[in-house]
Amino acid sequence: MKRILFVILLVLGASPYLSAQRVLQQRLTTADATSLFAPGEDVVFGDERGDRNIPIVVDAAEEYQSMLGFGFSLTGGSAELLMKMSAPARHAILEEIFGKMDMGIIRLTVGASDMNSRVFSYDDMPEGKSDWKLSRFSLADDLQDVVPVMQEILAINPNVWVMASPWSAPAWMKEAFDVRGNKLRRECYDVYARYLARYIREMAARGIKIHALTIQNEPLNSRNTPSMPWSPQDQLLFIRNYLGPEFARQEIDTQIILFDHNCDRPDYPLSILEDPVAAGYVCGTAFHQYMGDPSAMTLVHDFRPDKDIYFTEQMIVDRSEGPVSTQIAPSVKRMIVDMPRNWSRTVFLWNLAADPQANPHTGNGGCPFCFGAITLDGDNVERNLAYYVVAHASAAVPAGSVRVRSTAPEDPASFLFEDEQNPDVMRLMRYEHSGVLPNVAFKTPDGRVVLIVTNTSSRGQRVKIQFNGQFADTFLPAGAVGTYQWKI
């Protein structure tokens, strides 16, 4: 009899009501740094609508773009500093970022960027000399730092998606023998296409698959060292007649991505996509956010919804005197909320690591204020604002997650409430703008909903969430960010 009773209790012990309860889990970062991506109290969804506070309505059935992930650029300088750490300390911070934090994307530089201790390409020649057959091509500089760090990262997370971007062709291929500025000579279009293909094959031989390649970092900025300008007309010609055919000839499946510059020039990629042959080789367009508005990404998407959008660079530096998290709310709003809401499949922030003086960087066009997401001083690690900005998304939104609909502050909203005179009669109120806090929502491959909310206001606010007719109510302090998740 006792055994039968025990079985009955196993079957009936959890009532249908309790088993159907949906629980909201939360992680918070507050402006005073008392909470840094720390767990908050669980909240149970209920059936009561409560007061007239407008909810953030999440609709997991209305899907938009799939996400590749959130991450940083592993510059040569970042890799150099990581290689100067002891092996246990380096592995610990890489395990934290690519394991615990689950950062799933990386942007590499093809050759040196302005965040390298010195400028180099993979085929440097003396002035007046050339190497049309690429017989001198070598990854020697990257083999000292970028390649071993990437191999260690991939051992931790083999599914990291890798994008690469060149800052300049080798100087001997340019109109003037100078890595800063100066266009690629037209007669070098073929050899440069082979140079980029060679880079992809050489990295693959070392276990590093380059999933996507942008043609040029910031093609409208010749002030960096190194840098190289491209007009849209020249980039179109290069893709259509050289790079695209070269990738096809060598059966390279690395995706080709346009532009890789600011949101103030959506005409640049659109003019290239007007050419059907060039467009056939291209998978999408990359943007930075130092100028312009992120709505430019939606504009390009609306013109060409068959092509993807990528956000590939923004430097975030906390210039305040207070805790590292004082600027977390506006930074998350700008990067984690606005970029996916404007169709981006990636959010890359700039520069994984720098030292306390923002080194290393090149001279005469290097960035002397590009501090990293982490600051490395030997084996000492300091986590900066950008680290927590990305953590709020990467740790909860894995690759393959899909952005879904959620109420935006500017969206209209309706509210159903009980009539004051007739309690059994319901009234409907319509608002022109919902006024909810900035947010973005995702559906994950393992059946969760993730909602990231940022309180950019100067006062704490309640956050009411509506999902499938149920409601959860929580509180977000002024300047704080919350990542909320629950099972579908």
Q: Determine the residue type at 237.
A: L
Architecture of the domain made up of 18-65+404-487: Sandwich (2.60)
* Res 323: pLDDT: 72
Architecture of the domain made up of 68-399: Alpha-Beta Barrel (3.20)
Same fold, 18-65+404-487 and 68-399: no
The neighbouring-strand residues paired with 38 are 28
Q: Determine the residue type at 385.
A: L
* Res 318: pLDDT: 74
For residue 172, what is the DSSP state?
G
Share of the chain above pLDDT 90, in %: 87
Give me the chain's average pLDDT, please.
93
In this predicted model, what pLDDT tens digit does every residue of 350-359 receive, in sequence order? 999 999 999 9
Query: Tokens 């709505």 correspond to what residue?
Result: 295
Cα 114 to Cα 133, 140, 212, 365, 431, distances in angstroms: 27, 18, 21, 7, 49
In this predicted model, what pLDDT tens digit does every residue of 41-87 receive, in sequence order? 999 999 987 777 899 999 999 999 999 999 999 999 999 999 999 99
The domain locations on the chain are: 18-65+404-487, 68-399
Cα 328 to Cα 72, 455, 473, distances in angstroms: 17, 9, 22
In this predicted model, what pLDDT tens digit does every residue of 297-325 receive, in sequence order? 999 999 999 999 999 999 998 766 667 77
Region of 244 (left: φ > 0; alpha: ψ -120 to 50; beta: rest) is: alpha
Higher pLDDT, 8 or 442: 442
With cut-offs at 50, 70 and 90, classify the pLDDT of residue 230.
very high
In this predicted model, what pLDDT tens digit does every residue of 356-414 receive, in sequence order? 999 999 988 888 889 999 999 999 999 999 999 999 999 999 999 999 999 999 999 98
* Res 325: pLDDT: 75
* Res 20: pLDDT: 64
* Res 4: pLDDT: 34
* Res 11: pLDDT: 35
Instruction: Count CA atoms closer than 13 A to 83's CA, side-chain side.
Output: 18
Distance CA 161, CA 158 (A): 9
Compute the average pLDDT of residues 110-120: 97
